[in-house]
């Protein structure tokens, strides 16, 4: 499939394959109780643990469930997916609390001078963080570690030496690919893929992550109305300390688009960070994001609604950019570097060298070889390239959409892409 151009012709009126039909039919045979009590019971039964810590998380999870329970367009498969995810988050919460009770010295770990990539989703943040993470001097978080940061003490690696957490993460990825076969071309989620540290906020049942997997405007309003600093300085920082305690490194490479609208909490938590801000045409960001989400909605919703995603994410991207411009002065000027998408795509390794200069990290021959090795193993378009069409799929003129982002183009050297 490498280099293959992929055009999704059935976004508005999906044609389901046999595997998708079977998955939907199976889920329809299940009774799925989306409630805090059911999640607590399932997680405690699976782990044998019951220390939940402070109880404020229940209010947030109840809001997630209330919004989905009120949505009669959600498929039972979509409900099952959220239930399974929240049970995993709850198990992680229990295991983190148990580990910290046994090893309180974890709190003494220091996260020093991390390099943190922030920027709009679909703006090159994933490629950039994976490039830098290839440098083995830095600690990073592959998806399998983020999903289950604390090993199950009852488990041991298999005969092949593979961590059972990696295997479970790979199983989830394969299920995702079977349910949405083109997702690998838009957003790969393999176990070793370097992922977003917002995974550590999910056991605290916060972050903007749920906006990517369900239609949740009430949650968006709640999340934006509440100071996220306690979650950054609590759940996020603690998760990183746990991983560093298990596998030490002197310095981290992190990334998450959510940080774009949470620069205050981010800098309070990591005051010595080097912050890398990616910039891309917001219209290209929107068309990529909403195409991916509309495509995925065919198994999560009974009826797809491309216009809903267009309107929601047009507004959401404006919110992200407005907040980032408002707060960017919170980042010290000597530890901030802007990365225009077109410059990064023209010379990605050269851009990494510029980032290292700002971060005070020397580029060694060994580090360059590791980064070059990653590039060779992950050529662009390896899983195919989706061809986007805002006019045909979403009935909108890209130029008209772009006008609402004049405030952004006026401030940064962003090149127009979607036409």
CATH number at residue 246: 3.40.50.300
pLDDT at 179: 77
120 is written with which tokens?
A: 């709009």
Buried b (16+ CB within 10 A) or exposed e, 284-315: bbbbbbbbbbbbbbbbbbeebebebbbebbbe
Cα distance from N-terminal residue to C-terminal residue, the chain: 26
- Cα dihedral sign, 55-67-169-171: positive
Number of domains in the chain: 1
Q: For residue range 20-68, what is the model confidence (pLDDT) as tens digits?
A: 999 999 999 999 999 999 999 999 999 999 999 999 999 999 999 999 9
Domain membership flag for residue 371: yes
How far, in Å, CA of 150 to CA of 163, rounded? 12
Confidence check: pLDDT of 279 > 90:
yes
Confidence check: pLDDT of 19 > 70:
yes
Taking alpha carbons only, the member of 18, 296, 9, 304 closest to residue 176 is 296
Q: Categorize the per-residue pLDDT at 175 as very low, low, confident or very high, splitting at 50, 70 and 90.
A: confident
How far, in Å, CA of 208 to CA of 112, rounded? 26
Domain membership flag for residue 417: no
Domain membership flag for residue 416: no
How far, in Å, CA of 266 to CA of 264, rounded? 5
Taking alpha carbons only, the member of 212, 304, 217, 221 closest to residue 13 is 304
Confidence check: pLDDT of 144 > 70:
yes
Domain membership flag for residue 93: yes
Q: What mean pLDDT is predicted for residues 162-173? A: 92
- Can you tell me whether residue 315 is helix, strand or coil? helix
Q: Categorize the per-residue pLDDT at 378 as very low, low, confident or very high, splitting at 50, 70 and 90.
A: confident
* Domain span including residue 111: 5-150+162-409
Q: Categorize the per-residue pLDDT at 335 as very low, low, confident or very high, splitting at 50, 70 and 90.
A: very high
pLDDT at 244: 97
pLDDT more than 90, % of the chain: 87
pLDDT at 390: 95
């Amino acid at each position: 499939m490498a280099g293959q151009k992929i055009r999704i012709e059935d976004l508005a009126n999906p044609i389901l394959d046999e595997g998708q039909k079977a998955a939907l039919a199976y889920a329809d045979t299940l009774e799925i109780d989306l409630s805090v009590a059911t999640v607590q019971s399932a997680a405690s039964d699976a782990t044998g643990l019951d220390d939940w810590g402070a109880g404020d998380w229940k209010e947030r999870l109840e809001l997630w469930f209330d919004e989905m329970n009120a949505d009669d367009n959600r498929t039972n498969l979509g409900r099952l997916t959220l239930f399974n995810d929240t049970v995993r988050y709850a198990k992680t919460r229990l295991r983190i609390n148990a580990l910290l009770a046994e090893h309180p010295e974890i709190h003494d770990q220091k996260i020093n001078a991390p390099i943190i990539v922030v920027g709009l989703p679909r703006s090159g943040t994933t490629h950039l963080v994976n490039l830098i993470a290839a440098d083995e001097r830095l600690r990073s978080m592959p998806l399998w570690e983020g999903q289950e940061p604390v090993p199950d003490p009852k488990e041991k690696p298999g005969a092949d030496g593979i961590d059972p957490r990696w295997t479970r993460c790979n199983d989830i990825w394969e299920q995702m690919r079977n349910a949405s076969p083109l997702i690998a071309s838009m957003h790969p989620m393999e176990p070793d893929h370097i992922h977003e540290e917002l995974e550590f906020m999910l056991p605290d049942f916060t972050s903007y992550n749920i906006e990517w997997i369900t239609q949740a405007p009430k949650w968006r309003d709640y999340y934006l109305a509440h100071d996220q600093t306690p979650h950054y300085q609590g759940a996020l920082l603690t998760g990183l300390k746990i991983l560093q305690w298990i596998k030490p490194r002197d310095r981290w490479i992190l990334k998450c688009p959510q940080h774009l609208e949470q620069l205050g909490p981010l800098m309070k938590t990591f005051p010595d960070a080097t912050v890398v801000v990616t910039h891309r045409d917001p219209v290209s960001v929107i068309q990529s994001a909403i195409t991916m989400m509309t495509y995925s909605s065919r198994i999560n919703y009974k009826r797809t609604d491309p216009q809903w995603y267009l309107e929601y994410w047009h507004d959401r991207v404006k919110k992200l950019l407005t907040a980032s411009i408002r707060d960017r002065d919170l980042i010290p000027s000597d530890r901030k570097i802007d990365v225009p998408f077109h410059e990064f795509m023209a010379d990605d390794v050269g851009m990494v060298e510029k980032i290292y200069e700002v971060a005070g990290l020397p580029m060694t021959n060994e580090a360059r070889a590791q980064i070059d090795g990653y590039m060779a193993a992950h050529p662009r378009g390896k899983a195919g390239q989706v061809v986007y069409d805002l006019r045909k799929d979403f009935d909108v003129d890209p130029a008209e959409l772009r006008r609402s982002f004049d405030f952004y183009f006026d401030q940064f050297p962003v090149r127009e892409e979607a036409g």
